[in-house]
Structure 1
Amino acid sequence: MKIALSNSFKKDYKKLPVRIQKLLDGQLLMLLENSRYPSLRIKKIQGHRSIWEGRITQSYRFTFEKINDTYFIRRAGTHPILNNP
């Protein structure tokens, strides 16, 4: 698998605190290595057939789609991003 980043994600990432950026970097590496790793807490987003969410911290999440052999990272931020994943 590989990772591709959306423009929305790139904008979101720049707005995150540096500490959260570092944690997110680690979570994305873990997604590549083992998408079932417990701390990721991967689950489908209700109402969206192909969009998933992963946990960065208790308050921060990232969203993505699986497209062939690529994780397309869509958004990152606090819980409200799940309203527009």
Structure 2
Amino acid sequence: MKVIIEVRLTERAEKSYTKLPLHVKKKAKRQFKRLIDIPKYPSLRVKKKQGENIFEARVDYHYRFTFIVEEKTLWILSIGPHDEGLGKK
């Protein structure tokens, strides 16, 4: 896997992230770090979205995020409660 040196949020993800409860923000940051350090970490449950170069992962049981990796950047595309975190709302 590519060496990732930074995590960035798209404008959409940034807006959603700022609305999250503090405890979820902390979990999300921890999961982003895990994704960089150990991409197959069990609690992430990373899956590729069908037919796209976009992946989804878990913050926890209720919250999800989608992401792509470009060059050395992990781009968070969406984050939030299940459907919103998967970019469905």
**Considering the TM-score relative to the shorter chain, is it more than 0.5?**
yes
Counterpart-to-counterpart distance in 2, 1:28 and 1:83:
17
Structure 1 stretches lacking a partner, 5+ long: none
Does 2:80 match 1:57?
no
Deviates more, 1:5-14 or 1:66-75: 66-75
Q: Structure 1 length normalisation: TM-score?
A: 0.88
The AA in structure 1 aligned to 2:60 is: T
Is 1:20 aligned with 2:24? yes
2:78–2:87 CA contact under 8 A, matched in 1: no
CA RMSD after TM alignment: 1.6
Alignment match, 1:39: 43
In 2, distance between residues paired with 1:5 and 1:14? 11
2:83 aligned counterpart, secondary structure: helix
Q: Give 1:71's aligned residue.
A: 74
TM-score by length of 2: 0.84
Q: 1:9 to 1:24 in 2, by over 3 A?
A: same
Deviation, 1:9, is 1.0
Identity of aligned residues (%): 37
Equivalences, count = 84
